[in-house]
């Protein structure tokens, strides 16, 4: 069985899609590592894939670690790195 996950785009990722989110399909009980791989496959731009390596995935409540399970509600945000003070 699989689950559909909507990855909401923020910051620099917004330039790589006309939509505010990209949907990916993951196996049941997927981890953030699985999500990162599926999201990379959905990106069509090498610069976006490079940005992905330095970005974090988060729910509305917490930033997720690579071995965390993807929440069942399927709403995740991708947070690119930021700089400044």
CATH assignment of the domain containing 13 = 3.10.20.30
36 lies in some domain: yes
Q: Give the pLDDT band of residue 85 (cuts 50, 70, 90).
A: very low
84 lies in some domain: no
9 lies in some domain: yes
CA quadruple 9, 13, 18, 22: dihedral, nearest 10: -50
Q: Which domain covers residue 25, as residue numbers?
A: 2-79
70 lies in some domain: yes
Alpha-carbon distance of 10 to 28, in angstroms, equals 25
**Model pTM score:** 0.90
Number of domains in the chain: 1
Q: What is the pLDDT of residue 50?
A: 94
Sign of CA dihedral 56, 16, 27, 36: negative
Q: What is the pLDDT of residue 74?
A: 66
Tokens of 62: 């917490």
């Amino acid at each position: 069985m699989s689950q559909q996950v909507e990855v909401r785009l923020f910051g620099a990722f917004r330039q790589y899609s006309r939509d505010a989110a990209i949907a990916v399909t993951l196996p049941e009980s997927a981890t953030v590592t699985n999500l990162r791989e599926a999201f990379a496959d959905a990106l069509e731009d090498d610069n976006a894939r490079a940005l992905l390596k330095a970005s974090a995935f988060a729910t509305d409540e917490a930033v997720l670690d690579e071995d965390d399970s993807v929440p069942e509600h399927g709403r995740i945000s991708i947070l690119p790195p930021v700089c400044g003070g």
